[in-house]
Amino acid sequence: MIAVEENPQNVQQADIVVAIPTFNEASTIGRAVEIVGRGLREHYPDRSSVIINCDNHSVDGTREAFFQAPVDVPRLYLSTEPTRRGKGANLLMLMEKITALDAQAVLVLEADITNVTPVWVRLFIEPIFRGAAYVTPLYVRHKYESTLTSTLVYPMLRCLYGRRVRQPDAGDCAFRADMASTFLGAPAWSEAVEGTGIDVWMGTVALTSRAPVWQTLIGSPKRHRAKDPFAHLAARFRNVLAAMFDQMAAYADFWKRVKWSKPTALFNLDGREMDNPPLVEINAVRLHQRFVEGFQENEALWRGVLDPAAMNKLDEIRRMPYEQFTFPSQTWAAVLFDAACAYRRSAPEERLRLLDSLMPLYMGKVVSFVKRTERMSVQQAEDHVEETCAIFEEYKPYLVDRWPS
């Protein structure tokens, strides 16, 4: 898996590993390395550490920028083969390397976070030294940031695996180093996981490993280099759902026994450096149009997959004018549960078509979420997300009853 390894300082052991997965991040990785290096020196001066760049054979000088960053922390560079892409592929190399480093704690941080500060290293790593096995961040988010998480990933993972991990696919995480072997041995690795499904996949492995999962309050939003949030939505949506549905098959014996949900332990609750999240604007009219158009393309497929009651409800929703549009969470849960069962029954070549067909329905759910919460504060919108999760949990027996054995 590791096609290229450069270890100029001959690092053989490190208590703390900070991994930065990249593909063509020459313009951002230098700053990330510098900040992380300062964080390690300020907060863990007595522990050995290494920063690892897990790269997809970038051609823009990422590797050079990584080594040139002015930091006195040892560095190690790993790369996949030129043809192998995806954050999942990057992290698979990391897992292999960690097992050889006798490490204790691992932090995975994306390269293009523009507001990362040295204290983030402590916020992610400290829970590991206090007993956590897997740590996800709680970034400050605008109510319309990461609607895929709020309307789909969080309610599904919570009702399936029973832990309230609010941002399981945030892109950054920390884990106890011995979890690397758990990840390496976990089922349902796929092309989707090698791409953008990796965050959901790792979160699910951690949740089913019975190891303690914590959340850490970062107290800031996660600011990326400017990019269009919808630019890669189709691929991300497909990969996330494929990873989730594949893992549902692998962990059916686990999630069928989960009833309701529990909170996780939290870190940095006394941290009060709350920063306002950047405004996120959504063109709900356009999304509504995509929802309606989705019927023309996918109605026949949906009728073969969804329960007639859910299909009737979708018909009703389609006829609603935009002004009165609402997509009830019960119907949304039924759609996702039916789709998960259909995915399980489908031949592999039919699955992508099924996943893609769900995209317009997701857009309809986002329209409903936006309309319902447009006059709400962030906290009120958060309460609405919690209500959605409670509906998914109440409705879970529907899934358990229908799940193909």
Instruction: Please report how close the Cβ of residue 161 comes to other proteins at its closest, in angstroms.
Output: 8
End-to-end CA distance of the chain, in Å? 34
Does residue number 138 form part of the binding site for other proteins (CB under 8 A)? yes
What is the 8-class DSSP label of residue 223? Answer: P
Q: Is the separation of the CB atoms in 58 and 18 below 8 Å?
A: no
Binding of residue 376 to other proteins (CB under 8 A):
no
Residue 383 in contact with other proteins, rule: CB under 8 A: yes
CB of 265 to other proteins, least distance (A): 6
Q: Which helix (H) or strand (E) holds 265?
A: strand 265-267
Q: How many residues of this chain bind other proteins (CB under 8 A)?
A: 22
Residue 19, φ and ψ in degrees, nearest 5: -110, 135
User: Strand 105-108's sheet: what is its strand order?
Assistant: 4-6, 75-79, 49-55, 16-22, 105-108, 173-176, 134-138, 213-217, 265-267
164-183: which residues touch other proteins (CB under 8 A)?
A: 164, 166
Q: Which of 163, 222, 236, 365 binds other proteins (CB under 8 A)?
A: 163
Site map (CB under 8 A) of other proteins, residues 242-281, x = contact:
------------x--xxxxxxx-xx--x------------
In this structure, what token pair is assigned to residue 136? 């996800």
Q: Which of 349, 379, 401, 405 binds other proteins (CB under 8 A)?
A: 379
Binding mask 320-359 for other proteins (x = CB under 8 A): ----------------------------------------
- Binding to other proteins (CB under 8 A): which residues in 52-81? none
Is 384 a binding residue for other proteins by CB under 8 A? The answer is no
Q: Counting contacts by CB under 8 A, is residue 236 touching other proteins?
A: no
Q: Count Cα atoms within 13 angstroms, Cβ side, for 311.
A: 14
Strands 16-22 and 173-176: unpaired
Q: Which is nearer to other proteins, 260 or 322 (CB)?
A: 260
Distance CA 337, CA 334 (A): 5
In this complex, which beta carbon is closest to other proteins, that of residue 10 or of residue 379? 379
CA R_g for the chain: 21
Q: Which is nearer to other proteins, 107 or 138 (CB)?
A: 138
Give the separation between CA 389 and CA 286, rounded to whole angstroms.
26
Choice between 30 and 219, CB closer to other proteins: 219
For residues 138 and 215, the answer to whether their CB atoms sit within 8 Å is yes
**According to the 3-state scheme, what is the secondary structure of 24-51?**
CCHHHHHHHHHHHHHHHHHHCCCCCEEE
Pick 96 or 394: Cβ nearer other proteins: 394
CB of 260 to other proteins, least distance (A): 4
Candidate ranges 51-59, 63-71, 210-218, 320-328; the one touching other proteins (CB under 8 A): 210-218
**Per DSSP, which regions of 2-151 are E strands?**
4-6, 16-22, 49-55, 75-79, 105-108, 134-138
Stretch touching other proteins by CB under 8 A, among 34-42, 55-63, 74-82, 163-171: 163-171
Query: Within a 10 A sphere around the Cβ of 158, how many other Cβ atoms?
Result: 25
Minimum Å gap between C-beta 163 and other proteins is 7
Q: Which residues of this protein are in contact with other proteins, per CB under 8 A?
A: 138, 161-164, 166, 210, 212, 217, 254, 257-263, 265-266, 269, 379, 383
